[in-house]
Structure 1
Amino acid sequence: MTQEILIIRKTREWLLASLENFTIEQLNTIPPGYNNNIMWNLGHMAATQLGVCYLRGGVDLPAGTNEFFETYRSGTKPERLYTTEDLEQIKTYFFSYFDQLQADVQTSRFDNYTPWTTRYDIAVKNINDAVGFLPFHDGLHIGVIFGLRKLV
């Protein structure tokens, strides 16, 4: 699983670098016709990693992540203006749980992963499939972010 996580890490590092010159106001802007912004998409990418790997795997979310997950999970939208502190939290969650995830996989915490099918008709049968799904999901939101970048 190390290569998959490396791909996700590098892609997310590249994405954040591409947003370095954007202000917090730009990251919070919801253009007409959209229901979210760049900040929400970033947070959603990190929250999806937690949900797809942990919750779908029948494992409790890592300590301290419940509120973050509920803010950015699928079906939510921005309910407030996000702050620079929120952005720093997203950046932390973008990367910090990969080490925990790898450790948890090695301890067999996900041996009872419940198979499911995504809304994109992708079968996710185990934790390895779940991690393999993340680059696809991130790619969808990176596309949205790049569209939003042109509008803010």
Structure 2
Amino acid sequence: MEQTIIRHMETVRRITEQTMKNIPEEISDTIPKGFNNNIRWNFGHIAFVQEKIVFGISNEEMNIPKNYELLFSAGTKPTEWEVTPPSFAELAEVLTEQKTRIKNFIPGRLHEKLPTPFTNRGGITFYTVGEAFLFSFYHEALHIETIKRLYRAISSYSGNLQQK
């Protein structure tokens, strides 16, 4: 079952990586009416939250750029950024490298208790590495759907982008 879960993580991340390849970076900072964040923020948020869920709450070293928390943690907004965000190439590299580190970290740890239970902003409490890790798939999928909605909104506004 553990290998099935790891393969599922790879599938979810492959969808994220493919989605990123299909979106022109030059539109990634647009925030259409009705949205709080942009496409770049959502990709960075996926990377930051996955890192926190897998490594951070397990008291393991988080191995992503330090400014990701300031840029991409829950509650942050691109309109409040005071530093230059990473490029799509940098985000893609972080997402790909993160997938490899997770594949090396997770085996044998799904039933491991977290040092302290972790309650997310939605009020859901996780007690094991596996519970948190499985939730991360749902979280990533939610943000991929948001990215697709952002892309459609930008495309319909600009009228010259191909619908994905």
TM-score when scaled to structure 1?
0.80
Once the two structures are superposed, what CA deviation does each residue of 1:40-69 show, in whole Å capped at 9, x if it has no partner?
A: 10110011011112221122312x532233
Q: CA deviation at 1:89?
A: 1.6
Provide closer, same or farther for how the CA distance between residues 82 and 145 of structure 1 changes in structure 2, counting only shifts above 3 A.
farther
Q: Deviation of residue 21 (structure 1)?
A: 4.2
Gaps of 5+ in 1: none
Query: Does residue 109 of structure 2 align to residue 98 of structure 1?
Result: no
**Which residue of structure 2 aligns with residue 141 of structure 1?**
143
Percent pairwise identity? 23
8 Å CA contact retained: 2:59, 2:115:
yes
For the pair shown, the structure with the greater C-alpha radius of gyration is: 2
Residue 43 of structure 1 aligns with an amino acid whose one-letter code is G
Instruction: Find out whether 1:17 has 2:22 as its counterpart.
Output: no
Amino acid at match of 1:31: P
Partner of 2:59 in structure 1? 58
Superposed counterparts of 1:1-150, under 5 Å: 1-62=2-63, 65-78=65-78, 79=81, 86-105=87-106, 112-150=114-152
Q: TM-score, normalised to structure 2's length? A: 0.75
CA contact under 8 A between 1:53 and 1:127: conserved in structure 2? yes
How big is the alpha-carbon RMSD for the aligned residues of Structure 1 and Structure 2? 2.7
Structure 2 vs 1, CA of residues 56 and 145 (structure 1 numbering), >3 Å: closer, same or farther?
A: same
SS of alignment partner, residue 58 of structure 2: coil
Distance 1:117 1:36 in 2: 23
C-alpha contact 2:40 2:88 (8 A) present in aligned 1: yes
Q: CA deviation at 1:106?
A: 5.3
Q: Does the 8 Å CA contact 1:40/1:72 hold for their aligned counterparts?
A: yes
Take 2:114 and 2:13, find their aligned partners in 1: how far apart are those partners?
29
Q: Is the partner of 1:115 in helix, strand or coil? A: strand
* CA 113–92 in structure 1, closer or farther in 2 if over 3 Å, else same: farther
- 1:97-149, CA deviations, whole angstroms, 9 ceiling, x for partnerless residues? 233234344587x7653212323343311111121111110121112111111
Q: Which has the higher contact order (CA 8 A, sep 6+)?
A: 1
Q: Distance in 2 between matches of 1:106 and 1:14?
A: 22
Higher alpha-carbon deviation: 86-95 or 36-45: 86-95
